[in-house]
Amino acid sequence: MCPGLFASGHNVLLPQPQQVRYGSGRLSLDGLAVAGGNAAEDKFTAARLTAGLALRGGRPGARTIRLIRTGPVDALPRDNEPAGPNSREAYHIRVSTSGAEVRAASSAGLFYGAETVLQLVEGDGTGASLPAVEIDDWPSMAYRGVMFDKSHGALPTEEAVKRQIDFLAQWKGNQYYFYSEVSIELKGYPLLAQGGRYTREQVRRIIAYARERHVDVVPCLEFFGHLHDVFRVERYARLSVSPHGGDLNPRNEEMLRMLEDWVGQMAALFPSSWLHMGLDEPWELERGGSAATGVEPGKLYLEQLTRMSAMVRKHGKRPMFWADITSGARVFDKYPELMAKLPAGLIPVPWRYGDEKDYTAMLEPFQKAGIPTVIGTGITAWDTILPDYHVTFGNIDGFVRDGRRFGAIGILNTEWSDDAQILYRTTQPGIAYGAAAAWQSEPMDRAAFFRNYSALVYRGADAEPVAKALEALDDGEQSIKAALGSESMFRIWDEALAPSFLARARSHVEDLRNARLKAEEAEELLAGAATRYPELASVMIGARLLDYAGMKFIYAAEIAEGYEKLKTSADRTDLSFWLRNASRNHSRAADLMDEIGELREIYRERWDAEYTPYRRATALARFDAELEYWRKFQARVWEFGRTFRQGGNWPALESFGR
């Protein structure tokens, strides 16, 4: 069977529709027009479908694809949104040899049906056509969101945010969580996040763009912890639990007045019916909170949760919060009595990002309390050179499975940027996977996902090599993780010749070698497609960084081996041999300097294609320090060779790079 095809010989569809019945015959795209829909939302869908068909060779003519909306526009998910065959988002497709129709109760249903029509197209140019088919489809989860972190790392440009929303909508996602600690302009607070925030007008444009694509932009804020960007400003430092800390003091009256103001400003800016309050990982709650306020930590947390919920409710929004249960600060594990005291109407988001066998402990307590949840999954890419899809797909599969068992109403698939170096475009398969998994009722075909995904995104000759490259890079990330640890993006900058890192590298040479081989395999496979698809240019950067990490630590192990042999040698020519291979032209040090210097420049190009300049210098400083490390190594080895005398002192190897 060809990549990306059902056993029937037709395209794989993602998400997998609930009911598909293929007939005989085909409907040619040549001479096929899109018709129907008077509302602006329907016209947008018609134009998008027309443009998509034209890319495959379609030309308008006498036959039509009719868009038929049977109910109100109803563009965005509401509070208490139902899923299932009678949902607002359900749609019906019928394709025959004479024409086609997409029928739905709302503009959102028409939009999703049109996206499926584009996936149905087989062939290109004059031979492009749609198979005769009937499809009945609907979401199995009402809320299918993704969250992009805009506070821990880089600040995506407005255009990049719009691309993220467009991509999410393609896979039938309907919520975009706009994560901001203080990354959105707040009137009256000009000192906060200077250079690292969106204007209110930018946010309004993003919301309007998302609405056209039937995506609700949900404010995802922080009203307890994770507020260091506030307290780093001296004017506000005294409002935190500890000086220049991260947790606010919930008993400070000035702080509470600020929160009231912030909630009002954000509630007015975002039309969404939901508002995410954050409240996760209040790490200073127990270390400093009680001492600062004289209140028992569990009681203090409930007090803040209740207060913020009331503020949000006052503005007509439904409050959400991160529920630290078996994760984060484990607030609900430490204070189980909280479960019975939660304010009415809250939506907890129990979150867990590992590939676990069972997520019952995070979900069952809320179900027993009669509280609906949205599950918090994660695209594991915040500390890694490349996304770890072994973990990501396992996390989504398991959490969605158990979420269904315990009545979860949706998914919030998170994208964090803790290492402040991630290029978000590399994570697109994880966005698609999470949205599709929450729409369809059947489990995702994890083993075939890269193949099926690539067949839909990179049609034609690019599809198969891209799929193989993604598989190779995921395997390579597993190898580098085995060699260096789970935080591979941090480990890549470690001091390679320091004894502890060197010892680990020497015991994992085969893992490092496999990481390099997998990275190089992917580089070969992506060489053509990366020039045509911007996101693959970012993936190529990840492949080269993975290759560099393997090279660096393999070289370090080889340098150490040569240096140890040299200590026992009485032959002066051995010194010359070691110096030449370690530090001259076409040496290990020169290779590393060449590669990291070039990577710095192309990484900057990809950063500028996706992000604003905010924190760019911080990210590039790591490349600069790495280059300087090997330049120092080279210079000090040269000096050692010039001054060494037999019987002299042998400096510690790590001193050459310092």
Checking if the pLDDT of 648 tops 80, the result is: no
- CA-nearest of 8, 1, 64 to 31 is 64
Task: Taking residues 114-141, report their average pLDDT.
Answer: 96
Structure tokens at 496: 């390679």
Do 426 and 387 meet the contact criterion of CB atoms below 8 Å apart?
yes
- At 403 the pLDDT is 98
pLDDT at 209 over 80: yes
For 73, the 3-state DSSP assignment is: coil
DSSP assignment string, 152-180 = SS--B-HHHHHHHHHHHHHTT--EEEEE-
| Location of structure tokens 């922080």 | 222
Residue 21 CB coordination number (10 Å): 10
The tens digit of pLDDT for each residue in 387-422 reads: 999 999 999 999 999 999 999 999 999 999 999 999
Q: What is the pLDDT of residue 391?
A: 98
Q: List the 143-149 sheet strands across, edge first.
A: 347-350, 318-323, 274-276, 216-220, 175-179, 143-149, 410-415, 374-378
Residue 543 pLDDT > 60, yes or no? yes
Task: Please give the radius of gyration of the chain, using alpha carbons only, rounded to the nearest integer.
Answer: 27
Q: How far apart are CA 347 and CA 340, in angstroms?
A: 14
Residues 156, 17: Cα–Cα separation, whole Å: 33
Average pLDDT, the chain: 95
Rounded to whole angstroms, the maximal C-alpha distance in the chain is: 92
- Please say if the pLDDT value at position 1 is more than 90: no
H-assigned helices in 171-272 = 200-212, 228-231, 253-269
Summarised one tens digit per residue, pLDDT across range 356-374 is 999 999 999 999 999 999 9
Q: How far is CA 384 from CA 19, 65, 434, 478, in A?
A: 38, 45, 19, 10
> Quick one: pLDDT at residue 5?
52
Q: 3-class DSSP state for residue 601?
A: helix
Task: Tell me which residue has tokens 């409240």.
Answer: 279
Render pLDDT for 247-284 as a digit per residue (tens, 0 to 9).
999 999 999 999 999 999 999 999 999 999 999 999 99
Contact between 177 and 146 under an 8 Å Cβ cutoff? The reply is yes
- The H-or-E segment that residue 637 falls in is helix 616-643
| Structure confidence at residue 2 (pLDDT) | 46
DSSP string, 436-486: HHHH-SSPP-TTTHHHHHHHHHS-GGGHHHHHHHHHHHHHHHHHHHHHH-S
Lowest-confidence segment of 48-62, 173-187, 507-521 by average pLDDT = 48-62
- Report the C-alpha gap between 404 and 440 in whole angstroms: 12
| φ, ψ for residue 191, nearest 5 deg | -80, -15
Q: How is residue 255 written in tokens?
A: 């702080």
Whether 616 has a pLDDT exceeding 90, the answer reads: yes
**Percentages (nearest 5) of helix, strand, coil residues in the chain:** 50, 15, 35
Cβ atoms of 30 and 57 within 8 Å: the answer is yes
Cβ 206 vs Cβ 168: under 8 Å: no
What local confidence, expressed as pLDDT, does residue 288 receive?
80
Tell me the residue length of the chain: 658
Residue 131, CB-side half-sphere exposure with 13 Å CA sphere: 21
- Answer yes or no: is pLDDT of 597 > 60: yes
Tell me the one-letter amino acid at 144.
R
Please check whether residue 217 is in contact with residue 79, taking contact to mean a CB–CB distance below 8 angstroms: no
347, 339, 336: which is closest to 373 by C-alpha? Answer: 347
Q: Look at strands 410-415 and 175-179 and give their pairing.
A: unpaired
405/163 Cα distance (integer angstroms) = 33
CB-side exposure of 216: number of CA atoms within 13 Å? Answer: 24
pLDDT > 70 in the chain, percent: 98
User: Are 41 and 107 contacting, i.e. CB atoms less than 8 angstroms apart?
Assistant: yes
- Position 576 scores a pLDDT of 84
Q: Report the Cα 423 to chain-centroid distance in Å.
A: 9
Measured CA to CA in angstroms, residue 383 lies from 69, 234, 388, 473, 490 at distances of 45, 30, 10, 16, 7
pLDDT of residue 244: 93
Q: Per-residue confidence at 382, pLDDT binned at 50, 70, 90? A: very high
Q: How far apart are the first and last CA of the chain?
A: 56
pLDDT category at 577 given cuts 50, 70, 90 is confident
For 18, residues 6+ apart whose C-beta sits below 8 A from its C-beta are 85, 136, 137, 138, 140, 440, 441
Of residues 575 and 91, more confidently modeled:
91
pLDDT in tens, 295-325: 899 999 999 999 999 999 999 999 999 999 9
Element spanning 100, H or E: strand 100-104
* 319: nearest Cα among 221, 414, 203: 221
33, two tokens:
């027009």
What is the three-class DSSP state of 184? strand
3-state secondary structure at position 136: strand
Closest CA to 195 of 624, 610, 622, 611: 611
pLDDT, mean of residues 341-365: 97
Dihedral angle over CA of 543, 548, 550, 551, nearest 10 = 140
CA atoms of 589 and 577, how far apart (whole Å): 14
Give CA–CA dist 27/134, Å, rounded.
13
What tokens does 5 get? 């095809």
Cα dist. 566→554, 559, 631 in Å? 19, 11, 22
Report the distance separating Cα 473 and Cα 479, nearest Å. Answer: 10
Give the model's pLDDT for residue 8. Answer: 67
List the structure tokens of 388: 């770890």
Domains in the chain with CATH codes: 19-137 (3.30.379.10), 143-450 (3.20.20.80), 461-657 (1.20.120)
Instruction: Tell me the C-alpha distance between 582 and 2, whole Å.
Output: 48
State the Cα–Cα distance between residues 640 and 651, nearest whole angstrom.
9
